[in-house]
Amino acid sequence: MVSRLILLTLSTALATGALADEAPIKIGIPVGLSGANSVVAPSVVQSAELAVEEINAAGGVLGRKLELEIADDASGAAGAQKAFDALVFQKEVNAIITMETSAARNAGLPIISKGDIPYIYTSFYEGRSCNPNLFVNAWVPEQQVPPVVDHFMKSEKAKKFFLVGSDYAFGRGMLQFSRAYIEKAGGEVVGEEYLPMEGTDWTAIISKLKSSGAEALITSTAGGSPNVTLTKQLRGAGVTLPYGNLAVDEGTAKSMGADAAGIFISASYVTSIDSQANKDFLAAMGKKFAGELRTPNDLSVPQYEGVYLYKAAVEKAGSTDTKAVLAALAEVSYTGPRGTVTMNKQHHAPLTMYLGQVQEDGSVKIAGTFENVDPGEQCPGL
């Protein structure tokens, strides 16, 4: 990649007063400002900025201000290496908190280990990424798939499922788990098909789906473009089966217009969560970013909470010392828009999952709430 490492320092902490003499705590955010993740990245940055602003306004962490260092990882491994390198060794950040592609996360992990700092990963992913310095506060397949499958089996009386995905680690990981879960629950998988990530023509798969006798459809594509392409072609072909989409977010659903209506999603965050914490969060986001606001989503909210979890861990540890912070990260919790989150299950977090259904106007209506869904055995070694 022509690298697009960018380092824009958003010094929200233009220090005034007493806090000025203590060096700020730096949080590094390598994120896909370009490449596949560039659609969602701005919302992630925004929520991190809000968290930092709130924390600094309330006196910082251990009397020190928080400061963000943002770098573009170009949504890929090579870019992530540059970004992690710059953040860990040039900017010397105290921790990395970010959502990234799995390739970018994997590329960054060796650098995290070398630099020995905490890394809070805030993106849902296919699971089983284990590193002593890595904590995850977003969902894994074990948490996301069951609500959709259970709902289809109970409410829609579906027994036969058809699975469609993009051919990459996340797509395959999700559907592999889905298949196992469906079969365990007494259902049947009548088809499982993948298309390359750059693939644009789902014709053959859709025709197979239509002739398979499936009663429900579960898809797990790469986010954004492939998802939209698949959904448009599904709707064009008149597919009206119960449709669970494991990769759609509210923003993407909006850009699909009427085509997205009726899609079931399963997430740890939807904007319509009816809690005071969520309402306050949305109000604060709206106030801070106004016209520039990117709709908060299941990737940006864990980012917001990740900053708070790190704050809690540093306060518990009493310093930014890596060893102490890592020990604390496994214990502290934070109650935010998604409810109370603690990363105490092998560096992963039990989460409240929401089953949502996309409405005509692109909004998501909550059709079911599943509390404290366990991430399962992610990293037995940790």
Partner 1 sequence: MILLLDIVTTAAILFVVASGLLAIFGVLKIINFAHGAWLTLGGYCAVVTTALGLDPWTALPLAFVAGALLGAITEMVIVRPLYRRPLDAILATWGLGIIIGQLITLWFGRDVQFTPNLLSGTVDIFGASYSIYRLFTIAAALIIGCAFAFLLEGTRLGLSTRAVIMNETLARALGIDVARVRLITFMIGTGLTGLAGVLLTPLTSVDPNMGVGWLIGAFMLVMVAGSSFAALAFACLVFGGAQVLVSTFVSPILGGITVAVLCALVLRVSPKGFSRG
Partner 2 sequence: MAERRSSFNIRAWLLAGLAVLALLLVLFGPMFLDRFTLNVLTRSMIYAMLAITVDLLWGFTGVLTFGQAAFFGIGAYAAAMILTHMGASPALIALAFALAIIVPMLVGLVVGWLSFSYKATPLYATVISLVLPIVTTQVVFSGGQWTGSSSGLVGYGTLPFGLVGFFRLAGICLLVLTVAAWFFVRSDAGKLLVAIRDNEARCAYLGLNPQRLKIALTTVLAGVAGLAGFLFANSSGVVAPEITGFVFGTELVIWTALGGRGTIIGPVMGTIGIDYLSANLSGELPFLWNLVIGTLFVAMIILLPNGLAALVAKFLPAKGGAGAMRLTNLAAAGAQLTAPKEEALLSVKDLGKTYGSLKVLEGLDFDIRPGELVSLVGPNGAGKTSLMRCLSDGTEISSGTVRISGQEINGRTPNEIVALGVGRKFQVASVFESLTVADCLRLSLAARHRPSLVTRESDLALPAAALDILRLTGIDRMLERPVADLSHGLKQSLELAMVVALEPRLILLDEPTAGLTKTERTTIGGILQKLTRELGIAAIVVEHDLDFVRTISSRVVVLHQGRLVLDGTVEVVANSELVKTIYSGGAHG
Binding interface with partner 1 (CB under 8 A): 34, 38-39, 167, 193-196, 198-205, 207-208, 210-211, 224-229, 232-233, 235-238, 251-252, 254-257, 259
Q: Measured between alpha carbons, how far is residue 273 from residues 225, 338, 339 in Å?
A: 26, 8, 10
Of 74 and 332, nearer to partner 1 (C-beta) is 74
Of 229 and 359, nearer to partner 1 (C-beta) is 229
DSSP for 143-184 reads HHHHHHHHHHHHTS---EEEEEEESSHHHHHHHHHHHHHHHH
CB of 252 to partner 1, least distance (A): 6
**Contacts of the segment 193-198: beta carbons below 8 A, 24+ positions apart:** 193/162, 193/163, 193/164, 193/165, 194/164, 194/165, 194/166, 194/167, 195/164, 195/165, 195/166, 195/167, 195/226, 195/230, 196/166, 196/167, 197/166, 197/167, 197/168, 197/222, 197/226
CB of 166 to partner 2, least distance (A): 9
Beta partners for residue 64, in sequence order: 61
For partner 2, the binding residues in 179-198 under the rule CB under 8 A are: 196-197
For partner 2, the binding residues in 147-176 under the rule CB under 8 A are: 167-170, 172
CB of 30 to partner 2, least distance (A): 13
Burial class (CB in 10 A: 0-12, 13-18, 19+), 292: exposed
130 within 8 A of 347, measured Cβ to Cβ: yes
Of 115 and 251, nearer to partner 1 (C-beta) is 251
Of 25 and 74, nearer to partner 2 (C-beta) is 74
CB of 99 to partner 1, least distance (A): 15
Strands (E), the chain: 7-10, 25-31, 66-72, 95-98, 119-121, 134-136, 160-166, 188-195, 216-220, 243-245, 264-267, 333-336, 339-342, 351-358, 364-373
- Residue 256 binding partner per list partner 2, partner 1, none, with a CB distance cut-off of 5 to 8 Å that depends on partner kind: partner 1
- Residue 170 binding partner per list partner 1, partner 2, none, with a CB distance cut-off of 5 to 8 Å that depends on partner kind: partner 2
Phi, psi dihedral angles at 322 (to 5 degrees): -55, -45
The tokens for 90 are: 């040039």
- Residue 4 binding partner per list partner 1, partner 2, none, with a CB distance cut-off of 5 to 8 Å that depends on partner kind: partner 2
CA 354/CA 373 separation, integer angstroms: 10
- Residue 193 binding partner per list partner 1, partner 2, none, with a CB distance cut-off of 5 to 8 Å that depends on partner kind: partner 1
CB of 284 to partner 1, least distance (A): 23
For partner 2, the binding residues in 68-107 under the rule CB under 8 A are: 72, 74, 76-78, 81-82, 85-86, 89-90, 101-103, 105-107
CB of 17 to partner 2, least distance (A): 29
CB of 82 to partner 2, least distance (A): 5
Residue holding tokens 């002593």?
Answer: 132
Phi, psi dihedral angles at 235 (to 5 degrees): -65, -40
Of 131 and 231, nearer to partner 2 (C-beta) is 131
Size of the site for partner 2 (CB under 8 A): 36
CA 51/CA 31 separation, integer angstroms: 17
- Residue 238 binding partner per list partner 1, partner 2, none, with a CB distance cut-off of 5 to 8 Å that depends on partner kind: partner 1
| 225 counts as binding partner 2 under rule CB under 8 A | no
For partner 2, the binding residues in 6-35 under the rule CB under 8 A are: 6, 8, 33-34
Of 82 and 294, nearer to partner 2 (C-beta) is 82
CB of 14 to partner 2, least distance (A): 18
Residues in the chain: 382
Do β-strands 134-136 and 25-31 pair in parallel, antiparallel, or remain unpaired? unpaired
Q: Which residues bind partner 2 (CB under 8 A)?
A: 1-6, 8, 33-34, 72, 74, 76-78, 81-82, 85-86, 89-90, 101-103, 105-107, 109-110, 126, 167-170, 172, 196-197
